[in-house]
């Protein structure tokens, strides 16, 4: 069984839209985890995507509510933002970034998932996070 894979927001968008920015190894890792029902996304990612859409910085093929349902129907599992993870996110020493990045990172850490991300700040962070560069 594959260990869990948590998609950063941009990795989810790249996967769902078939973007070539998602590298072959990242795609293979996700495909393997999908076979084991082990691909996750934080609920905060849908907030980020909805915000990008409303600001005109991202266009989806459907309304965000419909798009979200289609993504989840593909076997990606949405995990809630939990209070203990939110508290842990505040304590991630040395991790810069916005609250969503910190919440996603803390969720991966708390569950032992590999975070698939292209965020250089997360990839370069000194923490013990399991991570994979989504571009590779």
Q: If pLDDT is split at 50, 70 and 90, which confidence band does 1 have?
A: very low
**Euclidean distance between CA atoms 94 and 128, whole angstroms:** 12
DSSP H helical segments within 19-115, as ranges?
Answer: 24-35, 43-54, 64-73, 83-90, 99-111
Domain ranges of the chain: 5-133
What tens digit of pLDDT does each residue of 14-45 get?
999 999 999 999 999 999 999 999 999 999 99
Q: What is this structure's pTM?
A: 0.95
Residue in this structure with the two tokens 């939110």, named with its chain if needed? 86
State the burial class of residue 52 (Cβ atoms within 10 Å of its Cβ: 0-12, 13-18, 19+).
Answer: middle
The CATH T-level fold of domain 5-133 is Rossmann fold (3.40.50)
pLDDT of residue 2: 54
**Euclidean distance between CA atoms 121 and 89, whole angstroms:** 15
Question: Token digits for 114?
Answer: 């590999």
Cβ atoms of 5 and 33 within 8 Å: the answer is yes
Q: Is 94 left (phi over 0), alpha (psi -120 to 50) or beta?
A: left
């Amino acid at each position: 069984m594959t260990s869990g894979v948590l998609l950063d927001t941009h990795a989810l968008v790249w996967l769902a839209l078939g973007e070539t920015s998602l590298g072959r190894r990242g795609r293979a890792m996700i495909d393997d985890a999908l076979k084991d029902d082990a691909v996750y996304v934080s609920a905060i990612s849908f907030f980020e995507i909805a915000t990008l859409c409303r600001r005109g910085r991202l266009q989806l093929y459907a309304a965000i509510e419909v798009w979200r349902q289609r993504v989840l129907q593909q076997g990606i599992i949405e995990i809630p933002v939990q209070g203990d993870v939110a508290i842990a996110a505040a304590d991630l020493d040395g991790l810069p970034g916005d609250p969503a990045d910190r919440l996603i990172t803390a969720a991966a850490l708390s569950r032992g998932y590999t975070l698939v991300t292209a965020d250089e700040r997360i990839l370069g962070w000194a923490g013990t996070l399991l991570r994979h560069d989504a571009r590779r």
